[in-house]
Amino acid sequence: MSNRSQRRVRNTPAARPSARPAIAKIGAGLAVFAAVALLVIAISQIAHTRTEESARADSAATSTADDEIIRQLAALARRDAADPMARGAVDAPVVMIEYSDFQCPYCQQFAQHTEPELVRRYLDSGQLRIEWRSMAFFGPESEVAARAAWAAGQQGRFWEMHDLLFAHSPEKKNTGAYTDDTVTEWAMRAGVADIAKFRADLNSDAARDAVDADMSEAIGIGVGSTPAFLINGRPILGARPVEQMIAVIEAGLRDREGVK
């Protein structure tokens, strides 16, 4: 087996490449989705054993550290006008990065029920941009689906393919729902014009590298399950009710308004 073939064997998320250099700048060992909560718990415990003045100082220091983490996470937004796996204005005041797996039932729930409401409320008005990151936590067919979405995106049909892949998300994972043949059929239904190109892109090194890069970014910041989100750098784990997502987006809009 060649070195490149060996690199393509992915049994668990731990086998993925290490975080990219841009992510490494966040800090060695940073696990943000746990760190923010742990910092809050630590301050709560300290407050029981220290003076009120000391507790306030600790809280202020933690708040500063949290703010720095959020700023660094917000910098992961690509804001690339040519990104086929993003939608919304490039200069939108709020960017939501979505880490999602097509075989994840909670990702499907978010995509079909919560995300459309966020799009309706905020996308057309230019207030929100959504950037997709492909995860393959659930096995080989998750990767097939991720590569299929990427390949459709090369012809401007990512979001149409996204909807079809979630519409066919299987109850039992890795049982033949996502194969080269099935995703090719859905690519045609999604309006992908050049199917020969789609099939070539689907199995290309570029597609695999794109999925690897998204996975490395996610693992590098401590994402261990899907869906996960960054909204202007604020981490959210799980398919939260639409009201909670709206609240975080509104907070982001207020923060940006205050900067002006």
Write out pLDDT tens, residues 58-72.
444 445 668 899 999
Ranges of beta strands (E only) in 138-227 are none
Strands 94-100 and 234-237: unpaired
- CA angle at residue 246 from 171 to 44, to 5 degrees? 95
Contact 213, 198 (CB under 8 A): no
* Nearest CA among 119, 110, 138 for reference residue 228: 110
94 phi and psi angles, rounded to 5 deg: -125, 130
Residues 256, 161: Cα–Cα separation, whole Å: 32
The 10s digit of each residue's pLDDT in 160-217 is 999 999 999 999 999 999 999 999 999 999 999 999 999 999 999 999 999 999 999 9
| Partners of 129 in the β-ladder | 95
Q: Model-level pTM?
A: 0.78
- CA angle at residue 32 from 75 to 13, to 5 degrees? 100
